[in-house]
Amino acid sequence: VCTNPVDKKVEEELRKLFEVRPVWSRNAVKANISVHPDKLKLLLPYLAYYMLTGPWRSLWVRFGYDPRKHPEAKIYQVLDFRIRCGMKYGYAPNDMPVKAKRSTYNYSLPITVKKPVSHTVSVHDLKQGLGTSSASGAKKPASSRYKLKESIYIFREGALPPYRQMFYQLCDLNVESLQKIIHRNDGTESECTERDGWCLPKTSDDLRDTMSLMIKQIIRSTRPALFSNTTSSEDGKEQLTYESGEDEDDEEEEEEEF
């Protein structure tokens, strides 16, 4: 698609990503490649298709690959995770050391190009190359100018997510206990369902429960005063109760461009 040397290199890097892994979120791509956001919106449709619903919703899938036909594709499924807050969890929304997501009123489709009317990015721009001498760009090398932080798509133990609502692919949950939940039915997958994909029923709920407990423990360690009134059991240990993520699916979903 691209003829400009710099952009051609980016296109090749994107092709290699999809060769290594057939399904990607847009944020995961942006954390691995430094590419102008608007240019990425034009490049992705040339290499992959966008899934609107199901276990791989909001993800980009390499052309020729259908995750619904491959049980091993369950590791690429998406998990809509929201940090639970409220008095029953021990802390109110205003106490959260994590930013709220942007409003859904600002949401646009992942192929929408947001540019001033004076300059709309087109295929012609891809071939000629976007400007690389902007004021903001001059402060960073081209290799990392547009790159996002790894935390935007990877969940690690002991670290808080950057936003209260995150969309993770199961393979990017880098915690052993979470991976054990995901792989409970390895080798015995029989059907790909709309809700659970190739995983066992309620897998997403179990993952959310475990992750929520991990988040609560992190917040407790950094802000112990928030939990000073928490009810304790007779042996002095705090009773941490899991809550199923079942009712979360009934909420109006706030989709992040990713």
Predicted confidence (pLDDT) per residue in 202-254, tens digit:
999 999 999 999 998 988 887 666 555 544 433 433 333 333 334 444 333 44
What is the C-alpha separation between 168 and 113, in angstroms, rounded? Answer: 24
Does some domain include residue 177?
Answer: yes
Does some domain include residue 114?
Answer: no
pLDDT computed for residue 103 by the predictor = 45
pLDDT computed for residue 101 by the predictor = 60
Does some domain include residue 258?
Answer: no
Can you list the alpha helix ranges (DSSP code H) found in the chain?
5-20, 26-32, 37-47, 123-128, 176-182, 203-222
Does some domain include residue 175?
Answer: yes
Does some domain include residue 113?
Answer: no
Does some domain include residue 257?
Answer: no
**227, exposed or middle or buried, with CB in 10 Å at 0-12, 13-18, 19+?**
middle
In tens, the pLDDT along 146-162 reads 899 999 999 999 999 99
pLDDT computed for residue 145 by the predictor = 81
Across the chain, mean pLDDT equals 78
Does some domain include residue 126?
Answer: yes
pLDDT computed for residue 104 by the predictor = 42
What is the C-alpha separation between 100 and 166, in angstroms, rounded? Answer: 10
Total domains in the fold of the chain = 1
Residue 111 has pLDDT above 70, yes or no: no
pLDDT computed for residue 222 by the predictor = 77
Domain range for 202 is 5-107+122-229+236-250
In tens, the pLDDT along 118-154 reads 445 555 555 555 544 344 444 555 567 889 999 999 9
Question: Computed from CA positions of residues 60, 65, 68, 74, in that sequence, does the dihedral angle turn out positive or negative?
Answer: negative
Does some domain include residue 255?
Answer: no
pLDDT computed for residue 94 by the predictor = 58
What is the C-alpha separation between 179 and 74, in angstroms, rounded? Answer: 11
Residue 33 has pLDDT above 60, yes or no: yes
pLDDT computed for residue 210 by the predictor = 97
Give the mean pLDDT of 105-119.
52
